[in-house]
Structure 1
Amino acid sequence: MISDILTFPLVRVRDINRNIVGKDVRTVYYVVTALRDLAVGFVSATYALFLLSKGLTILEMNLVNVFFMVGNFVFEIPTGVYADFFGRKKSVVIHGVLLGLSGLVYFFSNSFWYFVAAELLAALAYTFISGALDAWLADNVGENWVGRTDYIFSQGQVFSKVALIVGGMTGAYFGSLNLAYPWFLVFMSTTFMTLIAAMYMKNDSPTRAHLGVRSGVKQMMKIAKDSFSYGLGHPVVLWLIITTFVSFLAFQPLNMFWAPRFSAMAGGQVSVTGWVWAVMSAMMLAGSYLTRLYVKKRMVYWKIMILSVLLMAVPVLLSSVSPMFLVAVGFFVVHEVGRGIDRPMKISYINQYLPADKRATLLSFDSMVGKIAAALGLIGFGWLAQNSSFAVSWMVSGLMLLTLIPLYLQVKKKEENFS
């Protein structure tokens, strides 16, 4: 407060208070964001290795993750409605409690169905915080920051990526001692995050005192109806949603099998996955930076998307046939640049064709399509890898990603016709 007064001696007291409020809210947002993603990072490099170490087959490991995707699909809309009706702070606190419980269940468990229970808890946790933390920031940031939240969100992404990298390397180290230890770190991190959120997040007023079952069902039916009627009826939006389905389908063997494949190629070392994870995160961050450059240069969207496809597919194919550890890892981390471009550009692309009153609904629909594709990809590629190899599943994934090129050319054609 003293520094604010010294820096701005001529502003009125109420303006100083606005600055302080905005600063406090931003600090809490950055801390909660970092702790949330630190928890994710702790198990990112060891997740698959942990499940395989408990005797699960490759297909069973993927099926555990299918329950997470299904849980996300089922819980996403009800928890979003809860945040709007009962307050965003409550949603963030509930997220921390549920994710901490999920970490404890994983830490103490040894069987498939206990892992499924942990995944469902985690899915419910992530849907509670999905959108709620960002909405809380926008609602409470203060008058001086209204219209400038994009800067805060971008800064939050920096904290997020750093936390993911630190968490991944730390989790891999503790995982090399015992693959269950990273789950206890998840519990510790989320407990601390929950306390921070409960004590320092400003209370926000719910928009309604009570939400009944009937109104919740009506809300979900309205969202589904609006999504299907507009999304499937608009030629450009429809084809962009199809690309979401294909890409999420193809991503699953890359998401699930990189750690066991590279750990095996490195002679069974667990700690090496932390370093690989750090480089992967850095390369994705580089892709996000390239996205900003492309946007500034006003490059045509479909051309950028095809470039991202090539940056994803070609390195994956080369990595899949590389028998040497460093070569395989080198090609694989390059594909993360393409993924860093892919999702933010896709969201920006589709947003051009979404009306403001339906935007959140249709983006939610696009997200749901991605989750359905992810669940199918986990099952299909889990079966393929179990009956062949991780490398073969990556080769199929790379070829599937290449099919996005004619799909984006179709988007270009539909754009021309639409115009």
Structure 2
Amino acid sequence: MYLYLNCLFEFYAGITGATFILFLYSNHLDTMETNIIVAVSLITTFFVEIPTGALADYLGYVKTSILTGILLCITNIIFLFCNTIPLFVVAQISLGLASAFESGTLDAWVIENTSQKESEHIFIKKNKFISIIMIVAGFMGGIIADFCLKGIFLFALIASLLFVGLSVFTMPKLQGSFAREQKYSILDNVNGMKKIVIDSFHYCVKDKSIRNIILFNSVLTFAFSPVFVFWSPALHNFENVNYTLIGLAWVFMRAAMLVGNIVLEKWLHKSFLTLSAVSVACGLCIIGLAFFKKFWLLFLGILLFEFLLGLIYPLKETVLNVGIESENRATILSFNSLVASLFNYVSMILMGKLATIFTIEMTWICSGITLVIISTVILVPNIKKMA
């Protein structure tokens, strides 16, 4: 049941992943307005993730799972029937709240109602299931969008209603008899967020290595954001490129990232040196995207970018985890997520404005150059140490 609920929730991200930006453009929004709307859900989740976790503890996971589905339904209904910026903002706030509730509800529910061995097995299967649903839903979204662009939200709404139905009728029947852990109030969780920031700041002041890793991870997030937002409009601008082809491109992009994961596991050494070297290559790739004027060249460039992401994501997680002392791990990982989210939000606003004034390609050049410079600054001293 946990896997079904996760897949139904992630179905929204999959079916809209390839075409959501194009949907906003079809409503005559410029790049700045589009980026602000996309960023609204991210910043909402950023501010409410810890309080919603406390609320899930207080109300119970079944109730907050139902609330998650209802919020996702509201998001899809607004996008399906409305076409104004204020309502799009409301929809994204609803999506951000749904994402925050989901992250604090489903994982906690399965841990509370299964044994440790069962929950570990379920979490392993979760990533595989989500990868499959993201690929299938993304391709479906492209096909559906060619018939009706708003149709992606109709299918996402159906998935959301199924999510609510399973939460209402099935989750209560699966409540286990395992002991509930001590729960904390919303105030306790807000104070916990303050403690994370304060403790992490003091720790990073003392540990230069961890500070550099967190800043570098945030730069990666900043540089990747324009590619994530603008890849589909850039491909769709070419002649005879329909939404189905965009959906198919999404499938190949997911596959390219998976290949990157496999290559890293089999052949590459997981170190900060490897991360910075691959990041230089990724920065050059992002710059190159700005100069590809044929569809297939740009598409292959985006596939290369996704392949490099398949290397970078596990690398940056490994490098950070290895560098943290065990007793500070949870605190620093939370702080890393907070800082990266902030950089992502700033990038969306800044690059959206840049794309409005100049072009999408200019945002890729700027983010690519930023990544190359920062990565090189880190890479060169590491090479000298090895010499």
Corresponding residue of 1:203: 175
* Identity score, percent: 25
Contact 2:256/2:306 (CA < 8 Å) preserved in 1? yes
Alpha-carbon distance in structure 2 between the residues aligned to 1:92 and 1:339: 32
CA distance in 1, matches of 2:349, 2:212: 24
Matched, 1:107 2:80: yes
Q: CA deviation at 1:411?
A: 8.9
TM-score, length of structure 1 as denominator length: 0.83
Question: Which sits farther off after the overlay, 361-370 or 57-66?
Answer: 361-370
Cα drift, residue 312 of structure 1: 2.3
Following superposition, the deviation at residue 398 of structure 1 comes to 1.8
**Aligned counterpart, 1:40:** 13
Alpha-carbon spacing, 1:355–1:317, altered in 2? closer, same or farther (3 Å): same
Q: Which residue, out of 335, 338, 353, partners 2:305?
A: 335
Of 126-135 and 176-185, the range deviating more from structure 2: 126-135
Look up the match of 1:347: 317
Give CA-to-partner distance per residue, 1:124-182, whole Å, 9 cap, x none.
Answer: 11111225433433443336547xx2x54333212111111111111111111222111
* 1:401 corresponds to: 371
Q: Which runs of 5+ in 2 are unaligned?
A: none
Distance across 2 between alignment mates of 1:344 and 1:132: 25
1:246 aligns with 2:219: yes
Do the aligned partners of 2:277 and 2:375 also contact (CA within 8 Å) in 1?
Answer: no
Report the CA distance shift for 1:216/1:142 in structure 2 as closer, same or farther (over 3 A).
closer
Amino acid of the structure 1 residue aligned with 2:333 = L
Match of 1:379 in 2: 349
Cα deviation, residue 287, structure 1: 1.9
Structure 2 residue corresponding to 1:81, chosen from 25, 32, 54: 54
Query: CA offset at residue 240 of structure 1?
Result: 0.9
Residue range with higher mean Cα deviation, 216-225 or 317-326: 216-225
Structure 1 residue 275: deviation in Å? 0.7
User: In the alignment, is the contact (CA less than 8 A) between 1:41 and 1:165 conserved in 2?
Assistant: yes
Give deviations 1:268-319, integer Å, cap 9, x for gaps.
522211011111111112222233335xx7x241133134314522332222
CA contact (8 A) 1:305 1:408 kept: no
Letter in 2 for 1:228: F
The one-letter code matched in structure 1 to 2:203 is Y
CA contact (8 A) 2:18 2:250 kept: yes
Q: Classify the secondary structure of the residue corresponding to 2:161.
A: helix
Q: 1:376 deviation in Å?
A: 1.0
1:5-404 alignment, distance < 5 Å: 28-130=1-103, 132-142=105-115, 144-145=117-118, 149=120, 152-201=122-171, 202-203=174-175, 207-208=181-182, 211=185, 214-267=187-240, 269-293=242-266, 299-404=269-374
Is 1:305–1:345's contact at 8 Å kept on the other side of the alignment? yes
Q: 1:21: which partner in 2?
A: none
Take 1:221 and 1:51, find their aligned partners in 2: how far apart are those partners?
36
3-state SS of 1:159 partner: helix
Root-mean-square deviation (CA, aligned residues, Å) is 2.6
Secondary structure at 1:271 match in 2: helix
Cα 1:141/1:207, change in 2 over 3 Å:
closer
Distance 2:165 2:377 in 1: 47
The structural deviation recorded for 1:407 is 5.1
Deviation, 1:96, is 2.1
Using the TM superposition, name which of 124-133 and 177-186 deviates more. 124-133
Secondary structure, counterpart of 1:403 in structure 2: helix
* 3-state secondary structure, aligned to 1:141: coil
Q: Given that residues 96 and 125 in structure 1 are in contact (C-alpha distance below 8 angstroms), is that contact kept between their aligned partners in structure 2? A: yes
User: What CA distance in whole angstroms lies between the structure 1 residues aligned with 2:103 and 2:361?
Assistant: 33
- In the alignment, the residues of structure 2 paired with residue 97 and residue 206 of structure 1 have an alpha-carbon distance, to the nearest angstrom, of 26
CA distance in 1, matches of 2:214, 2:337: 9
Residue 111 to residue 252, structure 1, CA distance change in 2 (3 Å): same
Partners of 2:37 and 2:131 in 1: CA distance = 26
TM-score norm. by structure 2 comes to 0.89
Structure 1 residue 241 displacement after superposition = 0.9
SS at match of 1:278: helix
Q: Which amino acid aligns with 1:203?
A: Q
Q: In 2, distance between residues paired with 1:51 and 1:33?
A: 26
The CA deviation at 1:263 is 0.6
1:84 Cα deviation after fit: 4.5
C-alpha offsets along residues 393-412 of structure 1, whole Å, 9 cap, x if unaligned?
21222222213423543895
1:365–1:190 CA distance, 2 compared to 1 (3 A): same
AA at the equivalent of 1:158? K
Return 258-267 or 213-222, whichever deviates more. Answer: 213-222
Partners of 2:225 and 2:321 in 1: how far apart?
25
